[in-house]
Amino acid sequence: MAILLDLQNVSFQGFDRAILESLSLTISSGDRIGVVGINGAGKSTLLRIVAGALEPDGGAIRRPQTVQVGYLEQIPVLPDGTVREALGYDWQVDAALDRLGMLGSVDTHVKHLSGGQLKRVALARLFALDYDVLIMDEPTNHLDLGAIQWLEQQIRSFKGAVLLVSHDRFLLDQVTTRMIEVDRGKTYVHVGGYSQLLENQAEREEQAASAEQVRRNLARHELAWLRRGVKARSTKPQARIDAAERLLNTKPDAAAREGSIEFRVDAPRLGTTVIKAHQVSFAYPQGGTMLHDVSLELGPGDRIGIVGPNGAGKSTFLELLAQQLEPTKGTIKHGPTVVTAFFDQEGGNFDLEKTVQELVAGPQGIPDSPENLAIMKRFWFTGSLTKTKAKDLSGGERRRLQLLLALNTRPNVLFLDEPTNDLDLETIRLVEEFLRFWTGTLIVVSHDRTFLSRTTDRLLEVHPDGSLKDIPGGIDAWIARSMGVGVVDSAAERSQTTGPGGVSRSKRLREVEKEVAKLERKRVTLTTRIAESSDYAEQGKLSAELTQVLADLAAAEEKWLSLAD
């Protein structure tokens, strides 16, 4: 196993804080290293330093002259010209372009490619060239599920080393042999994939909490002993008393972010009909038919995931359901109580010249009012960030602002188009937790397999011929069928014991967790309706239904506990 790169005590200083402190890392052939951390922690900075695109402030990087490094940035840069001119003629290039759905665009000039097309062409180029080390920054953004599985295969079969930043937990757990966690300048290296990182994080937090408690207890005991002493007021013991008090008043390291992000969880009550699409077809004026005779009815609390290849019309279908587009044929109706919010994948349709606080306040609000400051704080917009223009926010900060603005309208129907793009893993997990207990109806387009598994109950696939079909078995069944293989479990699941039918314990736990969340949402809805109703007969009917839900919830929780043991 040849050493390809060696970092010794590498450091990098940002504008107001250390981004990296004394990082030492050896990268050898066969390494598959994932990098995670909150937005702004320094993940992309680390990648740029390793790639040689940025000089560190301290330390050394040993890179043999024969080692070739390929670097895929979040926004790739390609040579000028057509796709063919940028990539050249090679069967490997054409095979990659075909798998990525870009073979038909080889004569397109690169400046006319969309962000997603640019990413796919850059990936094809990266794997076609003869590199020893591949460095990739969010390579799954704008890729459909089939393309992501192609990427997994390419990473596994690559003979050199791979270093990547990604929010795709499924990908990380499938391919990585080590994980690097970047947190306030410090770096923690974990052997194993994403699952092992989570275990190590939990253990580190428990140890830190225990150490803090021990430290404070020792300080209290020292202080009490000194105060009880005969010479407690003499000069030397008094100095020790002061030292113990300082130790007691010392706070542990501040969290990377203050508190946990908070979402509104209340939503106006929905009626029995939410969205009804009847024989809907849609075609762009200059293009072919995107959807053909699609019918769909959604009710309160439905959780729908939409998948399909790039260009099939997933985002178009979402815009039609949200009534942002008019169908060419057919009808789409919303129920009378529906309040919608749309989270698009372009980063939000708001004025980039306005500050965060101006956008949150709106045209009629007061930007620095206590209410708006409190709302911004719940989404980690504090200090100078509140007065930062939207155009100057990072990609992750802009997406977080977009989420804030969407949820601040208190919708009961939420449309999400690739919501995990540019969000860090911590924020994604918190969004998932919010959606578990949010009582509204959710329709989401996503390529994030973990996100779909945790937030949706029903999966629909948009086909290139414009049809829409249900996917029995959910996201795992979709992956298995699209690849022509058995259901693909994560590395962590494969290590778990299996139950009836070969279903892993992790998968059964996820299914029961989703059932618990669904029943909990139903409990909240029924409780609210009982409180709002003044009709005794209706209250009695709802109470009987609530009793059954509580019984089902208790049974589901008991099942979860038995599986978790």
Of 109 and 260, the structure prediction assigns the larger pLDDT to 109
Give the residue from 171, 198, 225 where a domain finishes.
198
What is the DSSP code (8-state) at residue 535?
Answer: -
Q: 120, exposed or middle or buried, with CB in 10 Å at 0-12, 13-18, 19+?
A: buried
The DSSP result for 380-427, as a single string, is T--GGGGGSBGGGS-HHHHHHHHHHHHHTT--SEEEEESTTTT--HHH
Q: How many domains does the chain have?
A: 2
* Closest CA relative to residue 151, chosen from 227, 86, 209, 99: 99
Beta strand 289-298 pairing with 275-283 = antiparallel
Kindly report the pTM of this predicted structure.
Answer: 0.76
Q: What is the residue type of 375?
A: I
The region that residue 302 occupies, defined by phi over 0 for left and psi between -120 and 50 for alpha, beta otherwise, is beta
pLDDT in tens, 453-498: 888 989 999 998 899 999 887 787 776 666 555 444 444 444 444 5
Q: Would 72 be classed as within a structural domain?
A: yes
* Residue 564: predicted pLDDT: 63
Instruction: Return d(Cα 332, Cα 327) in angstroms, integer.
Output: 8
How far apart, in whole angstroms, are the C-alpha atoms of residue 104 and residue 97? 8
φ and ψ at 161, to 5 degrees?
-115, 150
Contact 138, 152 (CB under 8 A): no
In-domain check, residue 333: no
Token pair recorded at residue 273: 């009909």
pLDDT level of residue 503 (50, 70, 90 thresholds): low
The stretch 35-56 carries a mean pLDDT of 89
Give, in order, the Cα–Cα distances in Å from 100 to each of 110, 141, 144. 16, 13, 9
Percent of the chain whose pLDDT exceeds 90: 32
89 domain residue, yes or no: yes
* Buried-state track 494-526, b at ≥16 Cβ within 10 A, e below 16: eebeeeeeebbebbbbbbbbbbbbbbbbbbbbb
Q: What is the CATH number of the domain that holds 183?
A: 3.40.50.300
Q: Can you give the pLDDT at residue 487? A: 44
3-state helix, strand, coil in the chain (%, to 5): 45, 20, 35
State CA 398 to chain mean position distance: 14
Q: What is the mean pLDDT of residues 126-135?
A: 92
Confirm whether 79 is domain-assigned.
yes
Q: What is the pLDDT of residue 509?
A: 67
**pLDDT tens per residue, range 390-417:** 888 877 788 888 888 888 888 999 999 9
Query: Given 198, 228, 262, which residue is the final one in a domain?
Result: 198
Please give the residue range of the domain that contains residue 526: 514-564
Q: Is the pLDDT of residue 65 over 80?
A: yes
Inter-residue contact 556 to 515 (CB < 8 Å): yes
* pLDDT, tens digit, 9 for 90 and up, residues 206-254: 766 766 676 666 666 655 655 555 444 455 456 655 665 665 565 555 5
**Tokens 């939000």 -> residue:** 348
Asked if residue 42 belongs to a domain, the reply is yes
pLDDT tens for each residue of 320-355: 999 999 999 999 999 999 999 999 887 667 888 999
Distance between CA 321 and CA 275 in Å, rounded?
A: 7
pLDDT of residue 111 exceeding 80, the answer is: yes
Rounded CA separation 222/224 (Å): 6
The residue behind tokens 């073979």 is 103
Boundary-marking domain end, from 198, 229, 261: 198
pLDDT digits (tens, 9 = 90+) for 84-99: 988 888 888 888 888 8
> What is the reported pLDDT for 493?
42
Segment (H or E) for 294: strand 289-298
In a domain, 444, yes or no: no
